[in-house]
Amino acid sequence: MSIIVQKDDQVLRLTAKPVPLESITFPEIQKLLREMSQALAAEADGVALAAPQVGKSWRIFIVSGKIIDEEKPPADLVFINPKIKKASRVKAEMEEGCLSVRWIYGHVKRATRVTVEAYDESGKKFTHHGSGLLAQIFQHEMDHLDGTLFIDKADNLQEIKPEDIQ
């Protein structure tokens, strides 16, 4: 059974709290990161996951290592207390879905390039640039931390059941 909560769960509508920097290495947060990675790995089509999606209202999201390298995926990338430092003015309509909004898809306008600053699982600050899919992921996950779901801003919403995708 997946621990990923679905769209009517109120935790998805909260503004998530920043993680106190000194507690990043505490067992509670480290355990949460492991649970998030396990939950994400269990979803064949999953590319990223935000803490509110497993019922924890913290400003954390992870990106699957397979986005970085599909052949030899590194460990999932961890973004704690992320901030968008730069976003391109150029936007594009992108097809989007969400592990908390099964099985709905739609089009969302997203900046095509985004720079995020965050802390990793050891509490070290870093900056990550993303374009295309990664830029889209950054914006989708940041929305989760502010209580927004992609269906709030999407056009052309449609339901595509997994059995329809062959």
Catalytic residue ranges: 141
Of residues 20 and 162, the one with the C-beta less far from Zn ion = 162
Asked if residue 47 binds Zn ion (CB under 5 A), the reply is no
For Zn ion, the closer CB: 98 or 116: 98
Q: Which stretch binds Zn ion (CB under 5 A): 7-15, 29-37, 74-82, 98-106?
A: 98-106
Q: How far is the CB of 78 from Zn ion (least distance, A)?
A: 17
81 or 136: whose CB is closer to Zn ion? Answer: 136
By CB under 5 A, which span of 14-22, 69-77, 92-100, 155-163 interacts with Zn ion?
92-100
Nearest residue to the partner Zn ion, using Cβ: 98
**Residues 64, 134, 12, CA angle at the centre, nearest 5°?**
70
Paired residues of 9 in beta bridges? none
Percent helix, strand and coil across the chain, each to the nearest 5: 30, 30, 40
H/E element, 18? none
How remote is the C-alpha of 85 from its chain's centroid? 17
Minimum distance between the CB of residue 72 and Zn ion, rounded to whole angstroms? Answer: 26
- CA 76, 77, 81, 87 torsion-angle sign: negative
- Nearer residue to Zn ion within complex by CB, 55 or 123: 55
**Rounded to 5 degrees, what angle do the CA atoms 124, 125, 130 make?**
125
Question: 67, 47 in Cβ contact below 8 A?
Answer: yes
User: Cβ neighbours of residue 152 under 8 Å, at least 6 residues apart?
Assistant: none
**The binder of Zn ion chosen from 54, 60, 98, 118 (CB under 5 A):** 98
Size of the site for Zn ion (CB under 5 A): 1
Binding site for Zn ion (CB under 5 A): 98
